[in-house]
Chain A
Amino acid sequence: MSNYFNTLPLREQLNQLGVCDFMDSAEFLDGVNVLKGKKLVIVGCGAQGLNQGLNLRDSGLDVSYALRKEAIEGKRDSWKNATENNFTVGTYEELIPNADVVINLTPDKQHTSVVNAVMPLMKKGATLLYSHGFNIVEEGMQIRKDITVIMVAPKCPGSEVRAEYVRGFGVPTLIAVHPENDPDGKGLAQAKAYCVGTGGHRAGVLKSSFVAEVKSDLMGEQTILCGLLQTGSILSFDKMVEKGIDAGYASKLVQYGVEVITEALKHGGVSGMMDRLSNPAKVKAFEISEELKDIMRPLFQKHQDDIMSGEFSSTMMADWANGDKNLLAWRAETGETAFEKTPAGDVKIAEQEYFDNYTLMVAFVRAGVELAFETMVQAGIKPESAYYESLHETPLIANTIARKKLFEMNRVISDTAEYGCYLFDQACKPLLADFMTKVDTDLVGKNFNEGKDGGVDNRTLIAINEVLRSHQVEVVGAELRKAMTAMKTIKTA
């Protein structure tokens, strides 16, 4: 198998990267009809598998689960999840031959072996559904030509996919049809019906391509979403401890701060987040985030370049083949950091205090979101796709840090994201060493406004606001957020 993207001529590469259409709700008027009465068989029953299945069944569709024999005999969690919710469960051999749609919701790393096992059993003209395109695009998996290959990717953790559905809403979703595998031309209609089945059509659906999804998803998760949040959290914690701030307080500020701060990002974009700061703090955060952008830009570009060229995925797959040596070493290292090992103190931190005492993180988030977005757009990814993979997902990842710090974040995200996150973190920390020597507790740990009179220069402030608000991520974001403003607040702190 060879990297699919690299087999394409430039024209076609640009063409596929550029698929990006925010769909009108009228596109979904046919509901689930296309899938009604069809046999939907989900392979894998983890958080995404189970919750998508519950939604599809509640939408009137016929859902069952195909699990590996060992999972069934060993009564593993996936087997329990499915049977305890009264789904039919069977082996690949039992269920796949009758399936009209086979939904692959196993981890990335297993895709090749799962698809190789499933494909020969699939009936002629059936559909194979992915929720991530890595296997097709990076590994170059070839699917039998009679099979339709589509992608439906809810942009939220599985638990949210269910929670939003039962309250009558849904989560933003990306859909795509693989141009090499749409023999009957039914791919898009099926993907749309599947979206209705999971409730995604109510929260905004972006029509993308396998290529655009993979190249933007990898970039987002490695840089702003996981990489920068990890680097920023560790550097912030270490700085506070170095400067004599109580370690329990520092731990709590870092663990929950990023969630509180990005909650503002979710509702009002980068400018909404920056507006939570006092005027002097905003000016300062703007200045240091400009500096951070200059320092980190080459690193963001390197990540994007390696993703586009396939260098990233081949390095990672080499590590897979090597028993995950690098991944496991980095994972252990993360578990050993002082931040990870210091429990959050039993102190009350008010919501506004997270902004006032953690201006540094606001600057990190602004720099990271804008850089990731800009770099993706420069590489040919459309702004709407870039928005989903940068700004939109940041609060979701921040929530995992609030739950149980970085170790939890790395456990929840895919192995692919985790690997990329460590790559970024390893390179970013030394890059920021000089910058961090200048950072003091007014930016992290203490109230920035303390001892200041709150005054700023009018023209400076106006100029800064103008720069923030006119950034393309803000313009695109305002439009996309309209479709999902009703999303429920996820809060821990």
Chain B
Amino acid sequence: MSDTDTQPEVEKLPLDAWHRRKGARMVPFAGYEMPIQYEGIVAEHHWTRDHAGLFDVSHMGQLLVTGDGAAAALDALMPANVSALKPGRVRYSLLLNEEGGILDDLMVTNATPWIPADEETGEAGRWGEPTYYLVVNGATKWDDIAHLREHLPDEVTLTHLDEQALLALQGPSAATALNRVMRGVPEQLSFMQSMTYEFGELPLRISRCGYTGEDGFEISVAAEQAQMLADRLCAEIEIRPAGLGARDSLRLEAGLPLYGHDLDPTRDPVSGGLSFALTKKRREEGGWIGHQACAAKFADGVAERRVGLVLEGRMPAREGAKVFAGDRQVGLVTSGGFSPTLNHPIAMAYVTGDHADDGTRLEVEVRNKRLPASVSPLPFVPHRYHRGS
């Protein structure tokens, strides 16, 4: 067997010692030593689909954008309608370049604090300083910060919350288990909603979202308290630690793109299947970096589209595998692997528009073999988000 992993200079996560105590195998990823697995990728994958997995995603960038002009400034940088985002709401959005190329995908939350009424002074309750909480990819966070600093006006403040850890609790039992630790929290949140919570004296930001297709929560916590919180959560019978390996196979089944693989500056939101992140109003009004390029792509169509592929047999196709229709190469796999839930290989690929319809029969080349595949709707495994009543 071969082992070609190299070991560049890498940083340690706040939970590094905790991961090692839990038996994690650590690998370098996005500049950090990260737990790829504890007991095994497949076991952790199934545990998360059946119960709840706890993922350390502290490598991701947590940023705050604050100030009176924060919403307008973010509106100029991303296609989400940030100005219309109510406090406590979360949106998926993108940072784009002028050509419409994707610099990163991210979550933006209106985290503007509510300042309660003051009975002594008689002052009424009101919203505090406009505050937006961004979670960006770990590998791109430094470039994102540079991009934001370049484009945000001086009166808007950008803060990198580099003393915060981020834990993702994901799975159908996440709400039940979290409710035992933090009573009443889950019922206050639906999918893509966020709140602050005082856990004892420890302030947390809890958002109901994730990257597995399951119901779940992302919890931002002071790095020095992250271990205590991880232990409290893992004391619940439904919750076990899950690593980066399971996170990748879960998100692939959920049809969620991985930045740096399925999305990069050569891909745009239209061909990337992310048009839902470009609201109608903002598509029409523009005023954000990349709008002209994206508008042209909406009007003229795009050459390629991101699709799901279901492969016959058991041999997985990985990133970089060529996709063929007969003798003609019509695309490229951008991520692929074996689906533990479905028990067969799946992949995401960019293919030319004339081969992107569901059910189209294609072939994927792996080690000079042609594997039969068909275009499949995404997600491969249905999402089970908690959308409330």
Do the two shown chains form a genuine complex with each other?
Answer: no
